[in-house]
Amino acid sequence: MKKLLALVLAGMMAFSLTACGDGGSSSSEGSASDGSSAAGGEDKAVTIGVTIYKYDDNFMSYVRNDMDKIVAEMDGKVTLSMNDSQNNQSTQNDQVDTMIGSNVDALAINLVDPQAAAVVQKKAQDAEIPIVFFNKEPDLATMQEYDKSFYVGTTSSESGVEQGNVVVDYLKADADKKWDKNGDGKIQYLMMKGEPGHPDAEARTEYSVKTIKDAGYEMELLAPEDTAMWDTAKAKELMDNWYAQYGDKIELVLCNNDGMALGVVSSLTANKVNGKVMVAGVDALPEVMDYIESGDMIGTVLNDDQNQAQAVIDLAVNLARGNDPLAGTSWKFDETGKSVRVPYKAVTKENYKEFVK
């Protein structure tokens, strides 16, 4: 009888232990699916691996500094591993490999070449690490191949439209048509492009001109569109060459970014015609605000570095902690369900003080 009782008790204990084990496993899985992983959920310390296509790009330098400031003001459990890809895709690929090897929790990638997105994403996907591309937009089909791949940036065409609006508003306000130097009713202009093939460069080029023409202004391109690769020094050199050829015929210079607009103004200043040629840029860099005030530039377009940096950090940290990418934020995905779009805004002499940092 005692042996029988002992066997019954042993069986009951084994059943109890097995049931407790199953219950513990089920509870852990449920917690992870709720967005609070077993490693710590919302409080988990994470490292975000970041690459910037090149540190000395005017706009990206602000985005990078914004990221550092945002993380410094967070909970102390977010670390950035920041890398300068020096405008070399092979260098960036190696940096991604190194960051994955050091077990970063998420990647935030400002691509050197948007065409390399599939290669970079494959590295992240193979390592099961979420990735947030920013500023240079990958092909949507590529991002759709990985459920933890997203993008933060802008709508490229919008920047061109807003730059066109800057010009149109200036022309309408110029009742005496001082801009029309030769009195022919046409706008003789030059187009300074960023990186050829870059989605922003192509869209800004197309839509700025389209917006001005749609407003009823006739335009004449003095020289073929040319690139200064977003760079101030290259822009000054190109503008020096253009001015030597076309001189006072130039009425407007459209620049795909403010970095190049700064080079244009520098060239016009050296030729003592600053303020006599309409110059418009994109990015709303702090350096251009004085030029808008002085009249050396007619305006620019806010490319919101602070909110873009905030969105990148928000998405990357959420993904690193196993949360929904938009959890606890006011960001929204566009119709693709993959991209957060930060809006542009025209900046002119009438409102530039709102954007002085």
Q: Please list the ranges in the chain whose pLDDT falls under 70.
A: 1-42
pLDDT at residue 357 in the model: 73
Enter the tokens of residue 275: 């303020």
For domain 41-154+305-342, the question of CATH label 3.40.50.12780 is answered with no
Are the beta carbons of 125 and 146 closer than 8 angstroms? Answer: yes
* Tokens 């602070």, residue located: 306
pLDDT tens for 200-213 read 999 999 999 999 99
Residue recorded with tokens 């309408």: 172
Same fold, 41-154+305-342 and 157-302: yes
Question: Which residue type occupies 207?
Answer: Y
Q: Under the phi-then-psi rule, with left for phi > 0, alpha for psi from -120 to 50, and beta for the rest, what region is 230? A: left
Say what the pLDDT of residue 41 is.
58
Per-domain residue ranges of the chain: 41-154+305-342, 157-302
CATH of domain 157-302: 3.40.50.2300
| 162 close to 224: Cβ distance less than 8 angstroms | no
Query: What is residue 323's predicted lDDT score, i.e. its pLDDT?
Result: 97
